[in-house]
Amino acid sequence: MHRSRSARWLAPVLVPLLAAAAAVLPAGPPASAEGIVNLYTSRHYDSDEALYEAFTKKTGIAVKTIEADADVLLARIQREGELSPADVFIAVDAGRLQLAVDRGVLEPVESAALEARIPANLRHPDGLWFGVSKRVRVILRAPGAPAVATYEGLADPSLRGELLIRSSGNVYNQSLVASLIANAGEDQAATWCEGVVENLARTPQGGDRDQARAAAAGEGSVAVANHYYIARMLAGDDAEDRAAAEKLTLVFPDQDGRGAHVNVSGAGVVASAPNRDNALAFIAFLVSDEGQRLYALANFEYPVVPGVGLTGVLEGFGGFKEDTLNASELGSLNREAVKIMDRAGWR
């Protein structure tokens, strides 16, 4: 689900290799089949199947999916060219969506209906992709942890040796740094990254859920993760994970400032889509009230459409103020973010 930092710089070398890897994926569905939407998605959640089945039940349009890493999918679409069966491309981070934009894979779409449903900061300004769910990068505090409540606080010297966060190769962290660049400039973002490195409790390792587990186990007292990982731990069947999550306090950062950093899963229409109308109908369903509730219920992501009610764990988290930076900037500033993280020694 994420592209490594080194892959970004070695793209000219890796793309042919990724294309070769894509060749071993199952063959795609036919390019011109009626009543079908061909979905290339980097989301690997079983819960999304319920979403696709609901769309098919409502419209009669079958959803044929190809799941792989976003880089592999983009290489496959480019290799398939005009004969590609791909109608819709979905990625789990604005950084990946920008990669699709940069490669010319997506077609700009003008849709008053989509624009009315999705706030402007959660869709590409030229209609190249549309956010379909939100994820929030939150702070998790163990008992006795410093009362850090802002992203800036993560770099404060009072947190020396206490911070747990995954590597700089993780696109979620790259997008967080991109948001800092957009809000405060490159110099302050660089200073922040240096402070984060100074405060690390250990060499970055594992995923977001591993940061939460480590905080609960006392390896550090403050962790950074996307909100849905802690939600899954709280609602899941794993007793150890549930007990670990219950030890932690979830903090939506910067509530007295710009608000918590928000990223998106987003969908775009592929430029060569053989079933363009079906692609638009599919994206419209994803942001319908029904589609938005399914995202929230099944995967603990937040709806992008205002007014869709929450239940369960998400309702328990309560409301929060969010940064309204346009998510497309997270992708356009990715390269600068990676450079700054490299210079700070964030591994």
Half-sphere exposure (Cβ direction) of 335: Cα atoms closer than 13 Å: 8
- Cβ 60 vs Cβ 31: under 8 Å: no
pLDDT at 309: 86
Cα–Cα nearest to 329, from 73, 132, 93: 93
Provide mean pLDDT across the span 133-145: 97
pTM of the model: 0.86
- 191-233 residue pLDDT tens: 999 999 999 999 999 999 999 999 999 999 999 999 999 999 9
- 6 — pLDDT class (breaks 50, 70, 90): very low
Q: Is the pLDDT of residue 2 over 60?
A: no
Domains, the chain, in order of start with CATH, read: 36-133+263-309 (3.40.190.10), 135-260+328-344 (3.40.190.10)
Q: Is the pLDDT of residue 147 over 60?
A: yes
- Cβ 157 vs Cβ 170: under 8 Å: no
How far is it, in rounded angstroms, from Cα 139 to Cα 249? 8
User: Binding site annotation covers 40?
Assistant: no
User: Binding site annotation covers 124?
Assistant: no
Tell me the Ramachandran region of residue 198: left when phi exceeds 0, alpha when psi lies from -120 to 50, beta otherwise: alpha
Name the least confident of 20-34, 69-83, 85-99, 169-183: 20-34
Top pLDDT among 193 and 45 is at 193
pLDDT at 11: 35
Q: Is the pLDDT of residue 289 over 70?
A: yes
What is the CA angle 25-30-34, rounded to 5?
140
Top pLDDT among 19 and 83 is at 83
User: Binding site annotation covers 228?
Assistant: yes
What is the CA angle 284-288-292, rounded to 5?
115
- 14 — pLDDT class (breaks 50, 70, 90): very low
pLDDT at 172: 93
Top pLDDT among 12 and 157 is at 157
Q: Which three-class secondary structure string do you get for the chain? A: CCCCHHHHHCHHHHHHHHHHHHCCCCCCCCCCCCCEEEEEECCCCCCHHHHHHHHHHHHCCEEEEEECCHHHHHHHHHHHHHHCCCCEEEECCHHHHHHHHHCCCECCCCCHHHHHHCCHHHECCCCCCEEEEEEEEEEEECCCCCCCCCCHHHHCHHHCCCEECCCCCCHHHHHHHHHHHHHHCHHHHHHHHHHHHHHECCCCCCCHHHHHHHHHHCCCCEEEEEHHHHHHHHHCCCHHHHHHHHHCEEECCCCCCCCECEEEEEEEEECCCCCHHHHHHHHHHHCCHHHHHHHHHHHCCECCCCCCCCCHHHHHHCCCCECCCCCHHHHHCHHHHHHHHHHHCCC
